[in-house]
A and B are shown apart, each in its own frame.
Chain A
Amino acid sequence: DTAVSQTPKYLVTQMGNDKSIKCEQNLGHDTMYWYKQDSKKFLKIMFSYNNKELIINETVPNRFSPKSPDKAHLNLHINSLELGDSAVYFCASSQLDQNTEAFFGQGTRLTVV
């Protein structure tokens, strides 16, 4: 059973399009995240949700809109895609406890052409 699953794994699209990435976790965690990994492998947090409520928004452009229909799901919708949005996007989840680790999905490689 996959703990954190995200779809699709690969996404190739043209500039200006709108796309969504879906994420689901079956670990019963309270907290979910979106991270962006750039071409240099640098990982930066984008959003964090606790029990469906947005807690962290790390100065991400308004074109990125996360949605959490329930605490097991966190989707990411991106409007008007730009070349600079090309990256690997990771969904993760954790319990609300400092000494617990985050569990990561396999990532979605987004390529904007």
Chain B
Amino acid sequence: AQSVTQLGSHVSVSEGALVLLRCNYSSSVPPYLFWYVQYPNQGLQLLLKYTSAATLVKGINGFEAEFKKSETSFHLTKPSAHMSDAAEYFCAVSEWTSGTYKYIFGTGTRLKVLA
């Protein structure tokens, strides 16, 4: 079974600082990876996805992620944090099982942005 691991359940950065949220995957086949953001009391919104077309993926709100096969990583970055980036971030992988795909999520990282 595939899985993703997010290191750091809480990350704090100052406004304007670099954001780095870590995600490592475990997969025996080329993975399809996703980053989602969840704002308080809301559903999950897709930030970006890796589909093997390019290793550096750009998403919404200035976020990007780089797929590194050698490190089995798909870390999320943003050059300059904004107060509005404070949210919960989830890394996910899609897995084929029983004739369908299911999305397996990491445990999430709560990003706090300090003024």
> What A residues does B99 contact at CB under 8 A?
50, 55
> What A residues does B103 contact at CB under 8 A?
33, 45, 92, 94, 102
Cβ contacts A34-77/B at 8 Å (1 or 0 each): 00000011111100101000011000000000000000000000
> What B residues does A42 contact at CB under 8 A?
105, 107-108
Contact between B101 and A94 (Cβ–Cβ < 8 Å)? Answer: yes
Contact between B43 and A96 (Cβ–Cβ < 8 Å)? Answer: no
Query: How many residues of A are counted as interface, with CB atoms below 8 angstroms from the partner's CB atoms?
Result: 28
Q: In the complex, what's the smallest C-beta–C-beta distance from B45 to chain A, in angstroms?
A: 8
Cα distance, A31 to B103, chains bound together (Å):
12
Stretch of B12-20, B67-75, B76-84, B89-97 contacting A (4+ beta carbons < 8 Å)? B89-97
Contact between A56 and B102 (Cβ–Cβ < 8 Å)? Answer: yes
Interface of chain A, main secondary structure: strand
Q: In the complex, what's the smallest C-beta–C-beta distance from A72 to chain B, in angstroms?
A: 17
Asked if B49 lies at the interface with its beta carbon under 8 angstroms from chain A, I say yes
Q: In the complex, what's the smallest C-beta–C-beta distance from B107 to chain A, in angstroms?
A: 6
How many inter-chain contacts with C-beta < 8 Å in the A-B complex? 68
Asked if B28 lies at the interface with its beta carbon under 8 angstroms from chain A, I say no
Contact between A99 and B90 (Cβ–Cβ < 8 Å)? Answer: no
Asked if B100 lies at the interface with its beta carbon under 8 angstroms from chain A, I say yes
Cα distance, A56 to B102, chains bound together (Å):
9
Contact between A56 and B97 (Cβ–Cβ < 8 Å)? Answer: yes
Contact between A48 and B44 (Cβ–Cβ < 8 Å)? Answer: no
**B98 touches which one: A4, A55, A94 (CB < 8 A)?**
A55
Within residues 58 to 113 of chain A, which ones have a CB less than 8 A from any CB in chain B? 90, 92, 94, 96-99, 101-107, 109
Cross-chain pairs A/B with CB under 8 angstroms, 20 sampled: A31-B101, A40-B107, A41-B38, A41-B88, A41-B107, A44-B105, A45-B103, A50-B100, A55-B98, A55-B100, A90-B43, A90-B44, A92-B103, A97-B101, A98-B101, A99-B52, A102-B44, A106-B43, A107-B43, A109-B41
Interface residues of A (CB under 8 A from B): 4, 31, 33, 40-45, 48, 50, 55-56, 90, 92, 94, 96-99, 101-107, 109
Closest 7 CB pairs of A and B: A99-B51, A104-B43, A43-B105, A104-B44, A55-B100, A106-B43, A41-B108
